[in-house]
Structure 1
């Protein structure tokens, strides 16, 4: 067992936001030089439940407010991912080995103009709608299995 094996997972909430066409919101992180796209997600604050965190993160990262979304489904279990060894100690002040995530599927009821990634603390430099099947290919490689798990959890609610 290594020292990193004893580190906890950071509690996190993730949002799969779909539009009327069944496409999924993805953003390109400002702090990453890779051509990777990800769904909104972030830490759960102490005393906050996962659904509240998901809605807060969605607003903080995309400008989309709770009145512009409808909850479709919640994943039945948490999903985990580990950081690559070279990132442990550099991300989250070295406190975590990866994340444990609760995922929520929301339908976007607004217009594209309601999406504002120029938030007070921007996380994305660009955004677009993507086909759900493309998500594992768009994300950084160490999160690809996580995205496959999320897709599997929400498969019944996504276009075939």
Structure 2
């Protein structure tokens, strides 16, 4: 019975791979009002990462992003503002010794669309136990440009690419917020300097 379930799972995964052996996936960079980014600690491991997950058949990257956001860190669409996304897929290869035997030869790695989100909810809205199979057992806020040493080595280049590409949206959001914070100035009454 378990062999049938395993075979069904392998077939499902292989159907999701593109011609080059990459599984479609989304990555999420969630930042707070101080432009710090959310990092989750992989359950029972010493590595930290951004939330990410596979795109299911029939899902758009945006739908997968919202599903993963809820499954991995308990946030709902009303808790976040989408600031931007990567233009194209970013890819990483998974070393062979990390790949299940039954996937070797067909599975190469992940191709990801990355999203930059602003948390408009509160820290207490984050829940690592929103689903039955949690991905993380701890989380923290880090500087946007924190060293990637705590990230598993084969993902670092993609993280760097995503952070670099999405930084422009973070800067644009900061400029919008700054403009919104400038108080409206009413013109001086008639007869005062500066008014004709």
TM-score normalized with structure 1 length: 0.87
* Equivalence map 1:57-68=2 (5 Å): 57-68=68-79
Deviation at residue 89 of structure 1 after TM alignment: 2.4
Q: Which of 1 and 2 has greater Rg?
A: 2
Q: Which has the higher contact order (CA 8 A, sep 6+)?
A: 1
Deviation at residue 85 of structure 1 after TM alignment: 2.0
* Equivalence map 1:7-156=2 (5 Å): 8-31=21-44, 33=45, 35-89=46-100, 94=103, 96-120=107-131, 121-134=133-146, 136-156=148-168
Gaps of 5+ in 2: 1-18, 172-196
Q: Tell me the SS of whatever aligns to 2:167.
A: helix
Give the aligned CA root-mean-square deviation in angstroms: 1.8
Deviation at residue 7 of structure 1 after TM alignment: 5.9
TM-score normalized with structure 2 length: 0.72
Q: Tell me the SS of whatever aligns to 2:118.
A: strand
CA distance in structure 1 between the partners assigned to 2:170 and 2:154 by the alignment: 23
Q: How many residues align?
A: 151
- Spell out, residue by residue over 1:111-152, the C-alpha distance to the aligned partner (whole angstroms, 9 max, x if none): 110000012221101001111211522311111101000011
- Spell out, residue by residue over 1:21-72, the C-alpha distance to the aligned partner (whole angstroms, 9 max, x if none): 00011101115x2x21111100000000001101110100000101111110
Residue matched to 1:3 = none
CA distance in structure 1 between the partners assigned to 2:54 and 2:130 by the alignment: 17
Q: Tell me the SS of whatever aligns to 2:148.
A: helix
Runs of 4+ in structure 1 off by over 4 angstroms are none
Q: Tell me the SS of whatever aligns to 1:137.
A: coil
